[in-house]
Amino acid sequence: MKPSIVTFACLISLIEMEEVRISIKLSNQQPVKSTYEKVIYTEQLNNPLKSLKVVTNSRCAAVCTATKECRSYNLRKIDDDKYNAVCELNGPSTSPPTPTSDEVIYFEKPDYIYYMPMDWIRDDIVEGESLDGRIYNNAILDVGQVDQGIYLNGLDQWVDLGNHRHECFGDLQLCPNGYTLSIWLYIGPKVANEMYYFSSGGQTGYSFGVALRWLSGDLSSWFSTRDEIWKVSHPGEKGVWQHIVLTWKQVEGLSLWINCTNVETDTVSDTRNVQTTQWNNIVLGRPNNNFGYYGEAIFDELIFWDKKLEDERIEDLCVAYDTDRYSTPRCP
């Protein structure tokens, strides 16, 4: 399996407060991207700029390059081990200079808000990064697209991710930068006109939020605020792994991506007026307002961002996943 290249951008400041953008490329097969932030107490470098060290906290080998804004500098890898890779910016110089003590340490943080790999269940809790879900009626792990996924039988099993009305994940009006949800689905053979996979309230005229469901043979998603609603749908498939990405921003509308292709976009909303709701939890496998519909599927790799991802980032995300469902994206 060939490693994919994911680019991270770091921003450094010269003593005159002129900004120089540096591109750090990591040989990275992991689908979750990280960004780098400057430690507050090392805000400036001496002038002229001598050295920049970036600790990546990655198991991947680092290949460091400078963007066109910083052509007079060269980046070279100076140290790494199994868990750590350090890139250093040196220059300007025609030959690799000796590193100086002038350095700015960056730390990495994920660009997502919540990530659930669906690989661990402990005491009826499926565990994720900053997000856990309670499983009901003995849902189990099964073979996922990446390692394991959680199988819901479409009869009575579901996962409760909790109440998130206080944040973007649960209320689109708290998403000034948009909303993105990524999930792998293996839809089972259950035959029903209406089946649900993800719901925070978008399926009903008495609530607001997001819904991802099977409706009359289509994979359908509704995004709604108190005042507007957007709808997308595309012919659905069963018995195959599908990478589903939903992106939304109020001024740009709702887009449905399936397997790296934008298959449907709704840029014109319909008006509505729903100011309150009693259904606030986010659930997998059924609508969040009733127990009348379920969805049979294996769920894997749920990731949420409180922003609308650019097309290029979605394509990077797609490339990062291995097409072999029995292998796990890992660094060499």
Answer whether 227's CB lies under 8 Å from 217's CB.
Answer: no
Instruction: Say which CATH class 114-320 falls into.
Output: mainly beta
What is the pLDDT confidence band of residue 87, given thresholds at 50, 70 and 90?
Answer: very low
Domain boundaries, the chain: 5-110, 114-320
Mean pLDDT, residues 282-299: 96
State how far the Cα of 122 lies from the Cα of 190, in Å rounded to an integer: 28
Burial letters for 193-211: b for 16+ Cβ neighbours within 10 Å, e otherwise?
eebbbbbbbbbbeebbbbb
**Of residues 204 and 246, which shows the higher confidence score?**
246
Answer whether 245's CB lies under 8 Å from 303's CB.
Answer: no
Bridge partners of residue 8, in order along the sequence: 24
Tokens of 271: 């008006």
What is the pLDDT confidence band of residue 322, given thresholds at 50, 70 and 90?
Answer: low
Alpha carbon 79 to its chain centroid, in Å, reads 29
Residue range 183-201, pLDDT digits in tens: 999 999 998 999 999 999 9
What is the pLDDT confidence band of residue 5, given thresholds at 50, 70 and 90?
Answer: very low
Which whole-number Å values give the CA distances from 186 to 46, 56, 141, 272, 283, in the listed order?
54, 33, 13, 33, 17
Answer whether 66's CB lies under 8 Å from 74's CB.
Answer: yes
pTM for the whole thing? 0.70
* Number of other CB atoms surrounding residue 182 within 10 Å: 24
Nearest to 34 by CA among 104, 115, 88, 90: 115
Residue range 266-282, pLDDT digits in tens: 999 999 999 989 999 99
Tokens of 53: 């060290």
Three-state DSSP at 195 gives strand
What is the pLDDT confidence band of residue 130, given thresholds at 50, 70 and 90?
Answer: confident
Answer whether 280's CB lies under 8 Å from 165's CB.
Answer: yes
Residue range 21-74, pLDDT digits in tens: 334 433 333 444 544 443 332 223 333 333 344 444 333 333 333 333 333 333
Contacts of 153 (CB under 8 A, 6+ apart): 139, 188, 294, 296
State how far the Cα of 216 lies from the Cα of 227, in Å rounded to an integer: 26
State how far the Cα of 170 lies from the Cα of 162, in Å rounded to an integer: 10
State how far the Cα of 65 lies from the Cα of 69, in Å rounded to an integer: 11
Bridge partners of residue 127, in order along the sequence: 132
